[in-house]
Each structure stands twice: as structure tokens, then as C-alpha cells.
Amino acid sequence: MSDLHTILNQSAVDAILLTLRLAAVTTICLLIIATPLAWWLSQTRARWRAPVSAMVTLPLVLPPTVLGFYLLVMMGPSGPIGQFTEAIGLGLLSFTFTGLVVGSIVFSLPFAVQPIQHAFESMGPRPMEVAATLRARPMDAFFNVALPMAKPGILTATILSFAHTVGEFGVVLMIGGNIAGQTSVVSTEIYTYVESMQYAQAHWLAAIMVVFSFAVLLWLALMKRQTRAMLS
């Protein structure tokens, strides 16, 4: 940590630590939410499947600032989320770490759901049918058959969710307001440095982001190659 301080100032170090904390919390929450949602999308034939799938995918095509704006409005004192959180004594979530987590979950949801959904769909109906013939309850079959078979998809979802949260900008800027030490993450800290023409600090933070992103993509490529080798 002392070596890092010689390159980056305290605000940059705080932004890095907050970013890692945000990415970790968001990823855990996403896996809890995305796994049953992905299972439902992969198995159901209900009429609501298409609209729900479209809502999950929406953050991929919606500008982050638009998504961040509407989340900010919903978390505000006149919004449904803001009124609910105030009614239960939590106060407003906007410009707080909890608000960043909520926004990050919404923004990164497709990066968690789609790999897991693809993994569930790829295994086909046969394993669950075999489990049913052995009188396994649906819940037991899900945890003991479906989840282990979907492990590569879950691992991919974990990596992508964490990496995507680290790289967020528009949503966290709109919801968090870039408050130093509270809601300032790496991407918004780079923006602040560039605005104040502190290009050396911006360079170091941006370089860290580039190296991190490359490492994530390399890891995914190696993991996919290993998976193909195991299946062949």
C-alpha cells in the first residue's frame, strides 16, 4: 500500500478501494438475484418471458446516463423507491453507497443473467428428467444437478459482473454524485482528474483500468478454452 501511495494520492486510493468494495457487494447480490431469474427464463414458456427478458437486457442498449437519471428520480423524495426507504427509516438512497449498489445491480444485471441462462439452456432437459425419475425433488435437482452443470456460466457471470461494475461511469455519476470518500469510484475519479487537468493522476488510474480489463478478458478466454478442451 505504501508503494501505491507514492504513485497515487489518497483520494485515488480511496476510489480504488471503494470501487473494489462496490464491485464485490454488487457481484454477490447479482448472483443471488440472477441465478433463479436465469433458471426461470431458461425453463418457462409463460407469456411474461419475453417482456422480462427484454427488461433484463435493457441496460445493454440504454445509455447509462438515462438509466442513472431515472434511478436517481426513483430514489428521490418524490420517487417510489425514495418514499419507501424514507417510510421504513432508511432515508434516501441517492448519493449513498447503498444507492450505488442498487444502480450497479440494475446496470450489470444482463452481464450476470445471460451467461447463467445460457449455461442452463445448454444442459438441455435430460439431466432434470433423469433426476425426476430418481424421485429427486425439483429443489434438490436444481441444487445438485443444474447448479453444478452451470458452474462455467456462473463463473463467467461472476467475472463479468465484477469487471463491469468496476468500469461503470454514467450510472454511478448520476446516482452517487462523485462525493470524495463516499461515492467517488475509479471511473469518476479519472473524470475529476481530467477536469482539473491532473493528467498524471488520470494516467495512472486509467492504466490500472486498462490492465485490469485486459486481465479479465484474458482470463475469460483461457477459461473458455479450458472448458472446450474438457468437453472435447
Tell me which CATH code domain 2-231 carries: 1.10.3720.10
In the predicted model, is pLDDT for residue 85 greater than 70?
yes
Instruction: Answer with the residue of higher pLDDT: 45 or 232.
Output: 45
- Region of poorest pLDDT, from 1-10, 60-69, 177-186: 1-10
Condensed to tens digits (0 to 9), the pLDDT of residues 160-187 reads 999 999 988 989 999 988 888 788 999 9
In the predicted model, is pLDDT for residue 232 greater than 70?
no
Mean predicted confidence (pLDDT) in 75-87: 92
End-to-end CA distance of the chain, in Å?
Answer: 44
Domain spans, the chain: 2-231
Confidence of residue 1 (pLDDT cuts 50, 70, 90): very low
Give the pLDDT of residue 231. 57
Q: How many helices (H) and strands (E) does the chain have?
A: 13, 0
What nine digits make up the cell of 59?
441496460
What nine digits make up the cell of 39?
433458471
Half-sphere exposure of 98 (CA within 13 A, CB side): 9
CB atoms closer than 10 angstroms to residue 225:
10
Q: Phi and psi for 93 in degrees, rounded to 5?
A: -90, -20
Torsion over CA: 173, 177, 178, 184 (sign)? negative
